[in-house]
Amino acid sequence: MTVQLTARADTPLQSRSRVRIVVVFVFAVIPLTFVGSRALGFQLSGWAWLLILAAAAPVVLTEPLHERAVRLLLPYLLFLVYAAVSLAWTDSFNDGVASLVQLIVPVLAYLVAWRIPDSTAVQERLRSIALRGLGIAVLLTILFLAGLHLRLGVPLSVRPMSISLAVLFVVATLNSPSWRRTTVLGMVAVGTAAAAGSRLSSAVLLILLLTSPSLRVRWGARLAMAAGCILLVVAVSNTPAFRNRFFFNEEATLTDVITLSDQLNTAGRRELWPELVKRCSPAAMTGLGISSSNALSVKLSGLDHPHNEYLRVYCDEGWIGSILIWWFFAWATVRSWRGALEGQDTTLHAAAGQLALALLLFAITDNPLSYTALYMAPMAVILGLSDRALLMERMSIPGAENHRAARPPLAS
């Protein structure tokens, strides 16, 4: 099937409604990923991204695409093509096909979001859904800590859930009416991630809180909040619960965290990563093939993933795939933050920049590209809304008539 790269000045109202429903649906299914239950032999998190795929694919494949959207996606699309080619030499063909399909879902979510010309009403709807999702995450974490989920027979996935807290917090505070509200939601998200035992998610959420445009306080106040957070971390690090979770020795301190000493409990990551580098280096340029690193991680340490996205992409797609995928997300981060500083819809652009930056941070100790419904698809929606808004803002500035005439009109 050939997807025509054209655009229309207008689309039927029914089509617009379908687009908005799909965008809202991407966020509505996030809570499904919090529960580890299985249906028909498939985890609910898997069903969640399959549902997004089924909802978004018809919209993308049956309507024209805008040239600008495809150009911005080009590095990611080239990465997908190369990942598909790497199926020819991977040792994990079936898993590779499943991973490839997962990686396609964020593209569909991005292209669907691009079709919304004015996202103001949609942003408000997404903010409401994200706020409810944050409440559900808090409730499930409380049940987990109290052990009630075992009595109720509900298997919870609180560790992966902590990554989705970044999306939920950023979207829940879009156009927040008060810095107090933003602060409260931020601290709730940080506390929930800490309770779930996720160190990196807690740190990332603190960064998102301190860089949130909805905070509406001067940088001096933000630095004071950061200092308070550091003092809080120092205080918490001296508690028995913290030491038992993150250290092998009761005498260990935060210095061991900074220096990555042997006393720090990295859940097997420190031992796995050097071995992966050693095994993957002979195929540094081309990679071992998509999903090869997962099987290799199981063989080397028992971990089902490398727990480092940079290392996984390097092992699977080599330097070729690494340059393509990380260039895409690095440029997405830059243009979104630039839009937040210079554009009109500053909160939307900042949200896209925050989520792209959070992805780059999560990739240090986790594999966020595999969290399709938890993180990637919702992030792609926000990025798509932001990129669409950035182009419309640029087209509306004085003197842009020549630029506007040189390109086809935006598809709605």
Q: What is the pLDDT of residue 50?
A: 87
The pair of structure tokens assigned to 10 is 């207008």
CA 139 to CA 126: how far, in whole Å?
20
Tell which wins on pLDDT, 326 or 393: 326
The pair of structure tokens assigned to 332 is 């997405």
Q: What is the pLDDT of residue 404?
A: 37
Q: What is the pLDDT of residue 191?
A: 84
- Phi/psi region, residue 39 (left: phi>0; alpha: psi -120 to 50; beta: rest), is beta
Strand bridging mode 38-39 / 42-43: antiparallel
Domain boundaries, the chain: 13-137+269-393
CA 88 to CA 372: how far, in whole Å?
24
Type of residue found at 110: Y
Q: What is the pLDDT of residue 408?
A: 42
Judge whether residue 281 has pLDDT over 70.
yes
Judge whether residue 207 has pLDDT over 70.
yes
Judge whether residue 407 has pLDDT over 60.
no
- Phi/psi region, residue 197 (left: phi>0; alpha: psi -120 to 50; beta: rest), is left
The answer to whether the CB of 364 falls within 8 A of the CB of 308 is yes
Tell which wins on pLDDT, 57 or 151: 57
Q: How confident is the model at residue 1 (pLDDT cuts 50, 70, 90)?
A: very low
**Strand, coil or helix: 267:** coil
Q: What would the pLDDT profile of 239-273 be if each residue is shown by its tens digit?
A: 565 556 665 566 655 555 555 556 555 566 777 88
Q: What is the pLDDT of residue 8?
A: 43
Tell me whether residue 282 is exposed, middle or buried, using C-beta atoms within 10 angstroms of its C-beta: 0 to 12, 13 to 18, 19 or more.
exposed
Looking at the DSSP bridge assignments, the partners of residue 264 are 247
Judge whether residue 197 has pLDDT over 50.
yes
Q: What would the pLDDT profile of 74-85 be if each residue is shown by its tens digit?
A: 999 999 999 999
Q: Which helix (H) or strand (E) holds 43?
A: strand 42-43
The answer to whether the CB of 362 falls within 8 A of the CB of 163 is yes
CA 127 to CA 168: how far, in whole Å?
8
The answer to whether the CB of 176 falls within 8 A of the CB of 124 is no
Q: What is the pLDDT of residue 110?
A: 97
Q: How confident is the model at residue 171 (pLDDT cuts 50, 70, 90)?
A: very high
Closest CA to 113 of 25, 39, 34, 36: 25
